[in-house]
């Protein structure tokens, strides 16, 4: 589309001159981050809001991709050993301006950036919840993933979980004298929960849940509100056990009649402290764990994590970048994943609209074919665990074939390249044509989707929305183009965008993205043929040496920008574990504008708005 609406155009400057500008404008507050392997600037926290405004308005870095906290306990200076790290990008494309604010660990406090970037809302709440940093100026600073009455801040380095065994894997109890025991035998259930001293357990049974409903305006005298009809304000809890929330997700909705007044997402029911697990793991251990984030697009998660660690490994000696064939296979898998994910999300969007399971199953029929391919190549349909640092697990096999054994009584056998060619050049395009014929002009879909859940473009950028949600609002921002990785620069594809920013636009963006993915896949097939026989193996070390530094690897996952912020403390002889491992989860951050999009909509539309964001709770709650 040609008439794309962009927020007010600001001339963006490249990162170096942007930093020079900041240092010039705020000489006492901004200084270079001079630590080994680090980039960007350190900003005095008292000036943070002013500097952030300048970064957004004067320098044009108006998209806050990620905001996260790091605890440098025992590693940093005592008066500044906690740190917030922000990654801002120009929405027109280009590299990141990284800025950090430091605060002492015993009294951590950093001013909130919610007024500059509303997208910082959930991310700051997460940092408060898991790290205990307070954000003065935040309108609703309370726990987001953990529950009220939880003791401590679990991502802090000195916090230990139930069933804690050792700081780092591999655990010494496993070998050479690994006499097996179960964790729960040594720490029985019932003794693994701790509460704060002043916490009253009966608060958990508080049916009114006053603390949760605070700030929702429930005490308002409705009779006094001006208007033609006086309706009572009603609180409705949708979820956590509601089929349309795509998992265990809860929305607290206040209704004025049947119109939604406020909506507050409540999450964390599937929280497992993925990031803490990641910091106990070695770098390689984390690879299969990333599968479990957005379990519908595990290949994309693998790729994002591999990119982040590879950035760090590239700083060290003896680093071999992935071969060309490995890159081709990575992109092949990433694009197939995009199709898998969009088929699923459109199917479920239709489910949410009431077209119960027929469109879903038609889409699944095709999805199965791609999963068959994943299974044949990676060994698993969903939890692929396929990408390795500097390569991939194994090359695509000549034939995807099964052999008769005692479990499987049937045999199947086909040529993998022929299978793939037929899939991307005939089967999937034919299916997409039919699917669009089937759905796109349907009057019910149009009536339910057009002009519902509108997110204007400038707000989409402000809320740090990503993926089809952002592009549906007319912003042509795609990491594959804006900050290219792998072999995307040499591939020919378009970035589909919407016009109105409503649910229907998100639907069409997804359909058209699948067509673009097919276009990319068709370009990859000759490249696969040409590079046949090239090695695709990654580094063969199971505990690769990762130099000191920080890195932020991001990929355009089907659901939006997936980023991994990894800090390596790089102990040459000791443990080889990431010091900090943070996931910028698109499913999580895309929920920030949910309340805004649902305002003044009907209850039934909330389900569709949520469906159009396309969340996976494994990634939202982490």
Distances from the Cα of 32 to the Cα of 22, 151, 228, 245, 274, angstroms: 10, 36, 59, 44, 31
DSSP state of 426: I
| 53 or 542: CB nearest other proteins | 542
What is the rounded distance in angstroms from the CA atom of residue 50 to the CA atom of residue 43?
A: 10
Supply the minimum distance, in Å, between the C-beta of residue 377 and other proteins. Answer: 7
Concatenated DSSP letters for 528-573?
A: HHHTTT--------SS----SEEEEEEEEETTEEEEEEEEE---SS
Supply the minimum distance, in Å, between the C-beta of residue 248 and other proteins. Answer: 21
| 442 or 523: CB nearest other proteins | 442
Supply the minimum distance, in Å, between the C-beta of residue 167 and other proteins. Answer: 13
Supply the minimum distance, in Å, between the C-beta of residue 285 and other proteins. Answer: 4
Supply the minimum distance, in Å, between the C-beta of residue 417 and other proteins. Answer: 13
| 30 or 428: CB nearest other proteins | 428
DSSP state of 204: G
| 261 or 422: CB nearest other proteins | 422
User: Rg (Cα) of the chain, in Å, rounded?
Assistant: 25
DSSP state of 173: T
| 74 or 365: CB nearest other proteins | 365
Supply the minimum distance, in Å, between the C-beta of residue 354 and other proteins. Answer: 13
In the complex, the residues that contact other proteins under the rule CB under 8 A are 169-171, 173-180, 182, 281, 284-289, 358, 361-362, 365, 369, 372, 375-380, 383, 385, 393-394, 397-398, 400-403, 405-414, 419, 422-423, 426-427, 434, 437-446, 542-543
What is the rounded distance in angstroms from the CA atom of residue 461 to the CA atom of residue 501?
A: 12
Question: Which residues contact residue 29 at a Cβ distance below 8 angstroms, ignoring those fewer than 6 apart?
Answer: 43, 44, 46, 47, 50, 51
Supply the minimum distance, in Å, between the C-beta of residue 342 and other proteins. Answer: 19
| 50 or 375: CB nearest other proteins | 375
Supply the minimum distance, in Å, between the C-beta of residue 76 and other proteins. Answer: 28
What is the rounded distance in angstroms from the CA atom of residue 150 to the CA atom of residue 422?
A: 53
| 31 or 416: CB nearest other proteins | 416
Q: How far apart are the first and last CA of the chain?
A: 36
| 51 or 439: CB nearest other proteins | 439
What is the rounded distance in angstroms from the CA atom of residue 566 to the CA atom of residue 552?
A: 6
Supply the minimum distance, in Å, between the C-beta of residue 449 and other proteins. Answer: 12
Question: Which residues contact residue 7 at a Cβ distance below 8 angstroms, ignoring those fewer than 6 apart?
Answer: 62, 91, 457, 458, 461
Q: How many residues does the chain have?
A: 622
The residue with tokens 């759905």 is 439
Supply the minimum distance, in Å, between the C-beta of residue 376 and other proteins. Answer: 4
Supply the minimum distance, in Å, between the C-beta of residue 521 and other proteins. Answer: 15
What is the rounded distance in angstroms from the CA atom of residue 460 to the CA atom of residue 472?
A: 9
| 17 or 440: CB nearest other proteins | 440
| 212 or 382: CB nearest other proteins | 382
| 407 or 572: CB nearest other proteins | 407
Supply the minimum distance, in Å, between the C-beta of residue 603 and other proteins. Answer: 24
Question: Which residues contact residue 498 at a Cβ distance below 8 angstroms, ignoring those fewer than 6 apart?
Answer: 1, 471, 472, 473, 474, 504, 505, 506, 508, 509
| 394 or 531: CB nearest other proteins | 394
What's the 3-state SS for 19-83? HHHHHHHCCCCEEECCCCCCCCEEECHHHHHHHHHHHHHHCCCCEEEEEEEEECCCCCCHHHCEE
Supply the minimum distance, in Å, between the C-beta of residue 17 and other proteins. Answer: 43
What is the rounded distance in angstroms from the CA atom of residue 38 to the CA atom of residue 548?
A: 9
The answer to whether the beta carbons of residues 503 and 453 sit under 8 Å apart is yes
What is the rounded distance in angstroms from the CA atom of residue 236 to the CA atom of residue 265?
A: 12
What is the rounded distance in angstroms from the CA atom of residue 379 to the CA atom of residue 5?
A: 44
SS3 151: coil
| 147 or 356: CB nearest other proteins | 356
């Amino acid at each position: 589309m040609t008439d794309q609406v962009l927020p007010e155009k600001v001339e963006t400057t490249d990162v170096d001159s942007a930093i020079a500008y900041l240092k010039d404008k705020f000489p006492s507050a901004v200084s270079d981050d001079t630590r080994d392997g680090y980039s960007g600037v350190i900003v005095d926290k008292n000036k943070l809001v002013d500097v952030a405004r300048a970064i957004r308005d004067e320098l044009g870095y108006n998209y806050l991709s990620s905001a996260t906290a790091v605890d440098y306990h025992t590693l940093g200076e005592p008066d500044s050993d906690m740190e917030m790290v922000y990654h801002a990008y120009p929405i027109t494309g280009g590299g990141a301006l990284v800025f950090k604010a430091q605060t002492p660990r015993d009294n951590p406090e950093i001013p909130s950036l919610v007024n500059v970037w509303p997208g910082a809302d959930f991310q700051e709440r997460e940092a408060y919840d898991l790290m205990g940093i307070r954000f003065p100026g935040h309108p609703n600073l309370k726990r987001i993933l953990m529950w009220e009455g939880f003791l401590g801040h679990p991502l802090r380095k000195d916090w230990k979980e139930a069933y804690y065994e050792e700081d780092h894997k591999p655990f010494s109890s496993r070998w050479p004298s690994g006499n097996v025991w179960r964790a729960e035998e040594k720490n029985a259930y019932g003794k693994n929960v701790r509460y704060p001293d002043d916490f009253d357990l009966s608060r958990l049974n508080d049916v009114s849940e006053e603390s949760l409903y605070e700030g929702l305006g429930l005490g308002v005298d409705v009779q006094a509100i001006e208007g033609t009809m006086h309706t009572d304000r009603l609180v409705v809890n949708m979820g956590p056990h509601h089929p349309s929330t795509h998992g265990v997700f809860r929305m607290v909705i206040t209704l004025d009649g049947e119109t939604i007044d406020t909506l507050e997402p409540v999450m964390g029911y599937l929280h497992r402290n993925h990031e803490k697990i990641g910091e106990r793991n070695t770098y390689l251990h984390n690879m299969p764990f990333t599968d479990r984030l957005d379990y519908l697009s595990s290949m994309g998660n693998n790729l994002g994590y591999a990119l982040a660690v590879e950035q760090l490994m590239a700083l060290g000696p003896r680093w071999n970048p992935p071969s060309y064939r490995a890159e081709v296979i990575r992109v092949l898998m990433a694009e197939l994943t995009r199709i898998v994910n969009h088929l699923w999300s459109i199917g479920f969007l239709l489910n949410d609209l009431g077209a119960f399971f027929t469109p879903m199953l038609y889409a699944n029929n095709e999805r199965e074919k791609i999963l068959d391919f994943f299974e044949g190549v990676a060994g698993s349909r969903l939890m692929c665990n396929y990408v390795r640092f500097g390569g991939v697990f194994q090359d695509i096999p000549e034939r995807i074939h099964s052999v008769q054994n005692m479990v499987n009584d049937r045999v199947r056998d086909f040529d993998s390249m022929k299978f793939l060619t037929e899939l991307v050049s005939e089967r999937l395009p034919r299916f997409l044509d039919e699917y669009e014929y089937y759905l796109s002009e349907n009057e019910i879909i149009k009536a339910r989707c057009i002009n519902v859940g509108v997110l204007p473009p400038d707000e989409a950028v402000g809320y740090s929305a990503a993926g089809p949600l952002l592009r549906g609002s007319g912003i042509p921002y795609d990491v594959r183009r804006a900050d290219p990785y792998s072999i995307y620069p040499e591939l020919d594809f378009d970035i589909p965008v919407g016009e109105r920013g409503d649910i229907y636009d998100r639907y069409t963006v997804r359909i058209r993205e699948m067509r673009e993915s097919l276009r990319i896949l068709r370009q990859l097939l000759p490249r696969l043929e040409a590079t046949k026989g090239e090695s695709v193996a990654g580094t063969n070390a199971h505990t690769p040496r990762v130099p000191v530094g920080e890195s932020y690897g991001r990929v355009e996952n089907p659901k939006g920008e997936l980023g991994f912020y990894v800090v390596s403390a790089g102990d040459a002889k000791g443990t080889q574990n990431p010091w900090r491992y943070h996931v910028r989860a698109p499913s999580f951050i895309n929920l920030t504008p949910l309340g805004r999009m649902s305002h003044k909509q009907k209850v039934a539309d909330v389900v569709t708005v949520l469906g159009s964001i396309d969340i996976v709770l494994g990634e939202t709650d982490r």
